[in-house]
Amino acid sequence: MPTTYSPQQMLSAIAFASRVLEERKEEVNRLNVFPVPDGDTGTNMSLTIKSVVDNIQSLSADANNLEVLKAITTGALMGARGNSGVITSQILRGFCEGTVGHTKLSTEVLHNAFAKAEEVAFQAVRKPVEGTILTVLRDSAAAAAKAHEDRLTIDDALEAIVAEAYASVQRTPDFLPVLKENGVVDAGGFGLAILFDAFTASLLGKGEPVGIAFGIQSDAAPKVEIEQINDWEDANFRYCNEFLVDSDTLDISDALDFLATMGDCELCVGSTPKFKVHVHSNEPNKVLEYFLNCGQISEVHIHNMELQSADRAKKIANEEVTERKPIGVVAVANGSGNVEILKSLGVDKVVSGGQTMNPSTKDLLDAANSVNANAVVFLPNNSNIIMAAHSACELSDKSCGVVPTKSVPQAFGAMFALDSEVGLEENIEAMSEAAADVLTGEVTTAVKDSKDADGNPIKTGDVIGISDGSICAVGSDVANVIMDLLAKMNADDYDTCTLLAGDAMTDNELHSIAKRIEDAYCELEVDAQRGDQPLYPMVLSLE
């Protein structure tokens, strides 16, 4: 493994961490038990990091190290949202200041960077609270120091820091009673651990973060009871104020002294001439007036936290009254029409995927965890996805089972057999039997020379019809191949034919093909639908 990493690898890791946090921001948001919603923690941290990535991408290709570091600190400051975002921006500023003069990553540089990040972030918060993002940062910095002292490799040091970050997150309820009361960990700390994890995963080439291995799972954020702390009669300040200040004369110490007289959660960070201000106050006009006398202000956001809190409480209450289903269903499919049909049949979550894009075990596991049900049935709808579905079952905390569907039409049949009045095992058996009764045919275009089931040659670009894994119809015209395929599938022996038109087939073409089938098979009921799947102009089934 490498002993150091190139600047491009480092920047790519930042971009990857940004994407991961964006994908998981709702997990972080759900942990926010406090009724003071400066937006949501996960969203604010994600927007802050996204601003960093956008700023980096605006650099010229020949930008030097100092220009890159400045782009990171400026992007973080300009994009910082809410308390969590502002603190995150200061953590990044500290990292950058701690790496000035170094062009290669080492355990010594990691130690210096984390130590500086801890120093800068704690300086930004006048009243640090244990059990928050600052605690996770401090513990991570201690892990970086120990890694340097123990002379670990850079890869081992990064992994040790990630492990300690998650361990620190899990300890946050020991410091903040409100977290323990609600059965959650600190949102900002969790967001920071996700960033460290994703950054490390990218550098080490792991493909995806390893947070689940440390006991932090995507369903680690239970529904939150906030009534006990949602008491705005006792809240001192109503408005969340945040804005940028351009000033050559602003003194941070004086500004913080003033903000302390205006409210709480006061932050004033940055350096001449760019500053970020955040405070909760009842008099935003006076806050703005003070800083207008110091320079120019921009990006002004003033939120009524009382209204935000009431809205948040209402949303959570609505979620809590939603009855938990005994059995939910996760299916895999491509095409807007297929997704719509599956959902109309009762599928709770459709994961994007299919023949050319197989979802990962994690994709399926995340989908199962998001379903409000005691047990979950997977409909993989492709033979290449069945194994991943079984893996997701093994990893899930919920009871799960797999109906081994190999096509979307088989999923349709399986859904008609779903019975919420019986248990998971009974449903798996009944749905599997129903799916097995559905014969599926697929029409697509050959991407290379081959042979059909009888050994006849197939040329690249030929239209081919497939049934039961075998190519049994070949031609140059989609409609003709469909008719040949139905004949090979013994359509006369069935009662119903379902047609799912691909995204490249027009409605007129679909209706014409349906009419042709009806004329050829008088006893066959034809149900023509839009599946809008890519690459396959037609997927059909017989029952």
Q: pLDDT per residue over 260-309, tens digit each?
A: 999 888 889 888 898 999 888 999 999 999 999 999 999 888 888 777 66
Name the band, by pLDDT with cuts 50, 70 and 90, for residue 37.
very low
Question: What pLDDT, on the 0 to 100 scale, is given for residue 61?
Answer: 80
Question: What pLDDT, on the 0 to 100 scale, is given for residue 229?
Answer: 31
Question: What pLDDT, on the 0 to 100 scale, is given for residue 356?
Answer: 61
Name the band, by pLDDT with cuts 50, 70 and 90, for residue 176.
confident
Name the band, by pLDDT with cuts 50, 70 and 90, for residue 489.
very high
What global pTM score does this model have?
0.53
Question: What pLDDT, on the 0 to 100 scale, is given for residue 337?
Answer: 93
Answer whether residue 178 shows pLDDT above 80. no
Which of the two residues, 324 and 400, has the higher pLDDT score?
A: 400
CA dist 463 and 43 (Å) reads 47
Q: In whole numbers, what is the pLDDT of the chain averaged over residues?
A: 86
Q: 373-379 and 274-281: which strand pairing?
A: unpaired
Question: What pLDDT, on the 0 to 100 scale, is given for residue 220?
Answer: 38
For 308, other C-beta atoms within 10 Å of its C-beta total 17
Residue type, 142: A
Question: What pLDDT, on the 0 to 100 scale, is given for residue 230?
Answer: 33
Worst-scoring range by mean pLDDT, 176-190, 324-338, 372-386, 478-492? Answer: 176-190
Each residue of 529-541: pLDDT tens digit?
999 999 899 999 9
For 500, residues 6+ apart whose C-beta sits below 8 A from its C-beta are: 335, 337, 338, 408, 409, 529, 530, 531, 533, 538, 539, 540
Residue 295 — left, alpha, or beta (φ > 0 → left; ψ -120 to 50 → alpha)? left
Each residue of 81-126: pLDDT tens digit?
877 888 999 999 999 999 988 878 889 999 999 999 999 999 888 7
Q: 496-501 and 470-475: which strand pairing?
A: unpaired
Provide the token pair at 503.
């995204």
Answer whether residue 485 shows pLDDT above 80. yes
Provide the token pair at 121.
């972030």
For 407, other C-beta atoms within 10 Å of its C-beta total 25
CA dist 32 and 234 (Å) reads 19
> In the predicted model, what is the mean pLDDT of residues 496-514?
95
For 210, residues 6+ apart whose C-beta sits below 8 A from its C-beta are: 162, 197, 201
> In the predicted model, what is the mean pLDDT of residues 34-52?
74
Answer whether residue 228 shows pLDDT above 50. no
Question: What pLDDT, on the 0 to 100 scale, is given for residue 111?
Answer: 95
CA dist 498 and 349 (Å) reads 23
> In the predicted model, what is the mean pLDDT of residues 207-234?
40
